[in-house]
Amino acid sequence: DSGVTQTPKHLITATGQRVTLRCSPRSGDLSVYWYQQSLDQGLQFLIHYYNGEERAKGNILERFSAQQFPDLHSELNLSSLELGDSALYFCASSVSHRGNSPLHFGNGTRLTVT
Q: Print the binding letters for residues 27-66 with another protein: x by CB under 8 A, - otherwise.
A: ----x-x-x------xxxx--x-x----xx-x--------
What is the Cβ-side half-sphere exposure of residue 79, based on CA atoms within 13 angstroms? 7
List all residues 6 or more positions away from 56 whose beta carbon is below 8 Å from its beta carbon.
45, 47, 48
Is residue 10 a contact point for another protein (CB under 8 A)? no
DSSP string, 26-63: PTT--EEEEEEE-TT--EEEEEEEETTEEEEE-S--TT
Work out how close the CB of 2 gets to another protein at its nearest, in angstroms, rounded to a whole number: 8
Work out how close the CB of 97 gets to another protein at its nearest, in angstroms, rounded to a whole number: 5
Binding another protein (rule: CB under 8 A), the pick from 27, 40, 70, 98 is 98
Is residue 112 a contact point for another protein (CB under 8 A)? no
Cα 47 off chain centre by: 8
Binding another protein (rule: CB under 8 A), the pick from 20, 79, 86, 107 is 107
Measure CA of the first residue to CA of the last residue in the chain; give whole Å. Answer: 31
Long-range Cβ pairs for the range 58-61 (8 Å, 24+): 60/34
Q: Which is nearer to another protein, 59 or 80 (CB)?
A: 59
Which residues would be at the binding site for another protein (CB under 8 A)? 2, 31, 33, 35, 42-45, 48, 50, 55-56, 58, 90, 92, 94, 96-108
